[in-house]
Chain A
């Protein structure tokens, strides 16, 4: 799975926009949107919000969590705890990137938000590496990672699963049963 595909999934998340045009309710596969009235906030998926924004047909209202104070709190919480803390959105990284790239003029203190989210990401990735290491060291066979987001899983997924696969094979090499000598000449 590529990051672009993860982003594709993230674009289904809903954000609030303030349109500057009027349009009746539109019926799409997967849900009805609208009606759109100038100046009235309405919830739409991110992909539509970005498209409308690029055509200068709306103003974007940042999600509630995309706020310097809240993100600082999240970052500090993340640094304090050993396990992964719940994130404000399952696609926090993707949404930050998309919204800041296409609608940074609608988001107050955009550059600070970018830094904070990046800090949180780095903390979590370091934590992920640390826990993967101790997982391998202790020869565990299962783990629970509740609050990891898809993008984070995706960056280390192939590496980790392949390493564990090698480990499993090396570990079961000597065990009788599956590869016992059934063919004796």
Chain B
């Protein structure tokens, strides 16, 4: 059934894919910010007080979901200002550049790459550094210091293509959602090949759709 199902994938750029479920979940993540002007009658919505009539005073700290922050953010009309979440700040960027493999991106993310790419919308002076940390090997004076995605690539490739018939939950636990999808793809390549080599590809098996159908029918009979 998986072949006949084409979900919309994440956008992973400056723009999200409108119908991508992953992107919708990603843009729910909270972002620290500050109100640059007072926002009347929004205190309840933004979690700043009890009464529905109260306004959010200027300069108060807010936790706003990314989609709302994107809508309210404007370089000219200053409604809110957005701060960087701490995992994209200097201190964590240094950790990433030291060894990206030790970081638990699932705990940090789980949409580390997508969220980070979206952060570039806010015209932060540190944008180039963020973009670089997320992906790029900084080529400064011909010294390559591999950054997050590039540095973790080898581990994902090796573990996904060597772990045959193993419990992969430990391997996957620390991967960000994007990396997990990549891991699954690598696993499928390996599994398909191994099945073919053992001669299982020539055996006809029931499709998972039919198997599930049978189960559901039994459950109905029981109930």
Q: How many residues of B contact A (CB 8 A)?
A: 43
8 Å CB contacts to A: which residues of B173-188? 178, 181-182, 185-186, 188
B68 CB-CB contact with A under 8 Å = no
Q: Is the CB of B157 within 8 A of A132?
A: yes
* Chain A residues within 8 Å of B113, by CB: 166, 170
Q: Is the CB of A138 within 8 A of B144?
A: yes
A7 CB-CB contact with B under 8 Å = yes
* Chain A residues within 8 Å of B54, by CB: none
In terms of DSSP, what is the predominant structure of the interface of chain B? helix
* Chain B residues within 8 Å of A163, by CB: 153, 156-157, 182
In terms of DSSP, what is the predominant structure of the interface of chain A? helix
Interface centre among A136, A139, A159 (most CB of B within 10 A): A159
Q: Is the CB of A169 within 8 A of B160?
A: no
Closest chain A residue to B178, Cβ basis: A166
From known contacts A136-B150, A156-B189, infer whether A170 and B134 are also in contact, taking CB-CB under 8 Å: yes
Which of B25-33, B35-43, B195-203, B215-223 makes up part of the contact surface?
B195-203
Q: Is the CB of A136 within 8 A of B153?
A: yes
Closest chain B residue to A101, Cβ basis: B199
Which of B10-18, B44-52, B83-91, B100-108 makes up part of the contact surface?
B10-18
Binding site for B on A (CB under 8 A): 2-4, 7, 97, 101, 129, 132-133, 136-139, 151, 154-159, 162-163, 166-167, 169-174, 179, 185
